């Protein structure tokens, strides 16, 4: 609502928000609104095209992903298959790498820092549904942003839920369900995911080699 005050009058103007604006601001929104359905369909078409390119068509896949995603670094690589809802709410830092079967439900912004590794079969879900059944059945949803810092390794089959922030210099153990924020400089595992070990802060991050250049190696299982 917008209020206008003057010396002799008081007026009120109601500003109507679009369903997109409600969605990205964390309010309840109608997920079946025509405008949102059309955006999702456009996104799925691009994902489908990316996922069906030949493995040797890296340049074509990267070009399509740059068209799909809101922001990327100069160097990034996402193995097929990859699915998301809108694409434009996803931001990738430099040297982002994801192995196969990444799913990002980006109804709210999803932001990854630099040097993030994501193992196979991981999901980042900003979407949530009301506990109240009648409200849920009316196609009303909400979304909360997800933030991942720099120098993060996400193990295989990890699920990150709405509203979570993962700090920098973090390792998330395979199979974890990340329900709460994870601080920087820790190894965290479990369901719900909790820190179990402290890590020393890195001196620097060396971008000498990269998975997208077929030269990356980190001694971990993020590569098939």
What residues are annotated to the active site? 129
For residue 13, report the phi and psi dihedrals to the nearest 5 degrees.
-115, 125
Is the Cβ–Cβ distance between 222 and 117 less than 8 Å?
yes
Q: Which residues pair with 84 in a beta bridge?
A: 104
Would you call 26 exposed, middle or buried from its count of C-beta atoms within 10 A (0-12, 13-18, 19+)? middle
Residue with tokens 């955006």: 39
C-alpha to C-alpha distance for 89 and 69, rounded to whole angstroms? 7
Residue with tokens 């196969």: 100
Q: Are 152 and 116 in contact (CB under 8 A)?
A: yes
Residue 152, SS3? strand
Six token digits for residue 69: 């995603």
For residue 101, what are its two tokens? 């079967």
Please answer whether residues 167 and 185 qualify as being in contact, where contact means their C-beta atoms are separated by less than 8 angstroms: yes
Say how many C-beta atoms besides its own lie within 10 A of residue 107's C-beta. 28
Residue 152 phi/psi, 5-degree rounding, is -120, 135
């Amino acid at each position: 609502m917008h209020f206008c005050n003057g010396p002799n009058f008081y007026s009120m103007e109601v500003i109507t928000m679009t369903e997109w604006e409600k969605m990205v601001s964390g309010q309840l929104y109608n997920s079946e609104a025509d405008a949102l359905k059309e955006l999702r369909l456009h996104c799925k078409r691009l994902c489908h095209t990316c996922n069906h390119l030949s493995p040797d068509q890296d340049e074509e896949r990267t070009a399509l992903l740059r068209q799909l995603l809101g922001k990327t670094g100069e160097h990034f690589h996402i193995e097929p298959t990859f699915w998301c809802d809108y694409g434009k709410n996803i931001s990738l830092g430099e040297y982002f790498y994801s192995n196969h079967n990444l799913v990002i439900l980006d109804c709210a912004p999803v932001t990854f820092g630099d040097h993030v590794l994501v193992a196979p079969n991981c999901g980042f879900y900003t979407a949530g549904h009301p506990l109240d059944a009648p409200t849920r059945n009316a196609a009303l949803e909400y979304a909360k942003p997800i933030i991942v810092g720099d120098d993060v390794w996400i193990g295989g089959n990890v699920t990150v839920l709405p509203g979570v922030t993962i700090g920098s210099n973090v390792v998330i153990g395979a199979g974890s369900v990340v329900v709460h924020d994870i601080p920087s400089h820790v190894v965290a595992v479990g369901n719900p995911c909790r820190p179990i070990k402290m890590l020393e802060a890195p001196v620097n991050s060396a971008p000498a080699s990269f998975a997208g250049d077929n030269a990356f190696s980190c001694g971990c299982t993020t590569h098939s």
